[in-house]
Structure 1
């Protein structure tokens, strides 16, 4: 079975003991609840963790308008931007949906708003169902207990995702680019 908005919402609804939906267009309170919060919940969850399935790279060119002071150039963020991972420079700032920097281009690595659930990691799909459940549980059940439980499970799942990311990515060198200068200082 492929992962879709509806399948994720049905998992969340089932966690609450509610009936499933066939589409966000159903004439049903559950479908309306899911449709109303799905997009913002997805963006929030994708921002919470650097999901590999939501990672992109792009080279940015500066706009013709320059910052008044502090930096030479302003680079507009991509329209699907959610979270910055690396700007390719150490001296930058984010302001008004732009990256400000003293460079001629930005090699941006970022988390984007991946709306294609079929490309999602299994943990992201499960996290989304838990997050949706945490938000819709009280209106459906009349109690916040199920929502609080789902949110706690989500937090634990995010910890697991961080651990898995740590295992799947190469280790960052402890010394990085400054190894020689650190050793030099130590033994002078």
Structure 2
């Protein structure tokens, strides 16, 4: 089965016990509900977890305007930026869709707004269906019970996704390549 907006919405509608749709452009109430909340729900869910299918790497160059104080350079964030994973430097701030840092470039690893559902991980597609269901259940059924159940299932799914990420990525140290000064003092 191909994963797309309609299939994800139909899964959410099915979880609510509602009628499926042919497209988000349908003139039905269910299609309008899904179409209205889908983009923001997608962004929120992608921001909740660093899904590997939503990760990009890019090297940023500074712009000519500099911060008034505190940092030497300003780096504009990519338009599809949703969440930072790594800036490749220890000393930086994010302000107003820019990274401020003293370095000459930023090796940015970030979560981007992946709106191509065909590239999504199966867990992300399932999580999206659960999140949508949690939002549309009450307007459709008149009860919040299905929505609350979907929310609880989403929380469990996010825990599973974190565990899987932990298994698929190499371990990382808390203090970088140098031995932490307090750890070195003990020996």
Offset of residue 184 of structure 1: 3.6
Q: Deviations over 1:26-77 (max 9, x none)?
A: 0100000000000000000000001000000000111111111111111000
2:90 maps to: 90
Take 2:143 and 2:10, find their aligned partners in 1: how far apart are those partners? Answer: 19
Unaligned stretches of 5+ residues in structure 1 = none
Take 2:122 and 2:173, find their aligned partners in 1: how far apart are those partners? Answer: 29
2:165 maps to: 165
1:14 maps to: 14
1:68 maps to: 68
Q: Establish whether residue 133 from structure 1 lines up as the match of residue 133 from structure 2.
A: yes
Offset of residue 172 of structure 1: 1.7
1:32 maps to: 32
Q: Establish whether residue 80 from structure 1 lines up as the match of residue 61 from structure 2.
A: no
Q: TM-score, normalised by structure 1?
A: 0.96
2:44 maps to: 44
Take 1:46 and 1:154, find their aligned partners in 2: how far apart are those partners? Answer: 13
- Counting matched residue pairs gives 187
Q: Deviations over 1:121-154 (max 9, x none)?
A: 0000000000000000000000011101100100
Offset of residue 158 of structure 1: 0.2
